[in-house]
Structure formats: C-alpha cells, structure tokens
Structure 1
Amino acid sequence: MWKTKVQTAQNVTAELPFEQKRRKRQAGLTLVEMMAVVVILSIVGGVGFIAVTKQIEDARVKTDMANIRTILNASQRYIMDHPSQAGSLNYTNGDTVQNVLVNQGYLAEEPKDPWDAAVYTITVTLPNQSASGTIKVTSPHTLSSTGVQQFVQINY
C-alpha cells in the first residue's frame, strides 16, 4: 500500500487523515458485507437442495417404472414357456416372483423397490373365448406428484 507523505515546515513527514481512514476501512469485511455473502450463499444452497431432491425423486420414479417393465417382460417370457401355469404368477408378496421368475432364470434377482418399502403386484388374467389374457404389474407406491399408482398392462 502506498503511503502519502507530506513534508511540513519542520521537515517531519505525517500521514494525511484521509489515508488513515482508508487504511482502516481496508482492514477487513464489514458486517453488512459479511451478511450479504451469507444471504447469497443461503439462497444458492436452498435452490440447489430443491433441485437435488427433485432429481432424486425423479430417479426413483424412473427406477420404479423400469422395475415394472422388467417384471412384466419376465412374466411374459414365463407364460410363453409355460402357458398352462400362467395363473401361478398372481401374487402380492415376494414369494412367487422369487420362486418362479428368479429360480427358473427369468430374472437374475428380484427388482429392489426404490423406496425400500414394498413389493410389486403381478395380476394375470387367463384368456377365454371372448378375451385375451392380460398381465398387469403394479407398483406398490402412489406417486406424490400425481396421486396415481404406476402400472403396465399387456395382452397375451
């Protein structure tokens, strides 16, 4: 920092008063400046938190739909190989998918629920003279954004 010196009549140098004030001001941040920085960081952090939370929920919903499609495809392959045993796929607990689809090689492992709570439901309607059979796989969750339960249904 440059000091401004003034020579007086007695040949003594002295700092000007405004230079002393400027040096004091530049010593650090004021309380107002510090509060402004904290407020800005809080806003940025809040927006970032909301965005990350939304991305996590979107990822869970997409994982849930992928699990439904995986179970549906495995169920469809099982019914194509064993049409007389199609009714054995109706379940609302993990036993059937474990015993039938996993143990017989249609799934490598039972899909994990992204919310770590429940299991998927498979409903098989057998074909008759008037209608084809259906396979419906339903998620155990109701989406909070829409209030709708995800499912996929196909005819076979």
Structure 2
Amino acid sequence: MKFKSLQKKRRSGFTLVEMVIVVTILGILSGIGFMQFRNVQETSRKNADYVAAANLATAANLCLGENPNIVTTDTGKNKIISIDTLKEKGYINYIPKSQSQNSPFVIKIVEQGEEGKKSEELRVSCDLGGGNEVIFYPKPE
C-alpha cells in the first residue's frame, strides 16, 4: 500500500528538467518572433517613406503645372523644388519626415538621357551626404 501512494506522489507535477526544457523552447520561439517583428517594422517604415514620397511628387507636379518658375537650381545640373514652398502654397498640409532615414526629403528634377534625347524626371529622395542618396520616388523595382 505504501508503495502505491509513493508512486502517485511522484507522478503529480513536472520535474525540474521538464520545466527548464519548456522555458528554453519558449525563449527560442520568442527570440525568433522578435527578430521577425523588427523586420516588419523596418519594412513598414520604408513603405511609409514611399507613400510620403509619392504624395510629395504629386504635390510637386501640381505646383509645377500652375507655377513653372518655382524651381530653383542647385550647384549641379539638378533643379530643386522646395518642400517649404509646397507647404506655403497649400499643396501639402505638413512637411513629412522620413521614417527610415535620418534626413529630410529632397525633390529634384533630374535630366536624363543622351544629348539629343534629354528628358527630365521628378525624383524624391533623402540625401545622406557624401553624394549618397536613397531614392523613394520613383520607387525602385
């Protein structure tokens, strides 16, 4: 009789080894989940920048249609449209900030093509300095 009562007591509950294994598995799964969550955050920040850049490009095109002389020229061949001017003229309600980069958006009109077949393209990017930029509009494929 005493032997049967001891067996019942030993079988109720979990051993320390079983608890450590469960905690280890939960730790591994949560680590994988946090890494996936960080990737989702980065992707959503970039997508928010693409949307903001597309809105800026639309506002710039509308502004250029009504005010073609609003363009200023920088030191290179590129022409720049001031985002502050778009806000002052009412084409945008606020000046958007880049979510994925630590720099403001820049709207440029870039000349492309060969000498005989030049065309202009509106480009919205973030200037990272040193000649580096991240282009958000048109969205790179």
TM-score (norm 2): 0.75
- Which among 30, 33, 39 is matched to residue 15 of structure 2? 30
Deviation at 1:38, TM superposition (A): 0.4
Cα-Cα RMSD: 2.5
Aligned partner of 2:80 in structure 1 is 90
Structure 1 residue 113 corresponds to structure 2 residue 103: no
8 Å contact 2:123–2:135 — kept in the other structure? no
Q: What per-residue deviation string (whole Å, max 9, x for no partner) do you get for residues 15-41 of structure 1?
A: 241x13322213432111101110111
Identity %: 24
Aligned partner of 1:131 in structure 2 is 118
Aligned partner of 1:64 in structure 2 is 49
Aligned residue pairs, count: 125
Which blocks of at least 5 consecutive residues in structure 2 are unaligned? Answer: 74-78
CA distance in 2, matches of 1:125, 1:140: 14
Structure with bigger gyration radius: 1
Select the structure with the greater relative contact order (CA < 8 A; seq sep ≥ 6).
2
8 Å contact 2:80–2:108 — kept in the other structure? yes
TM-score (norm 1): 0.68
Deviation at 1:125, TM superposition (A): 4.6
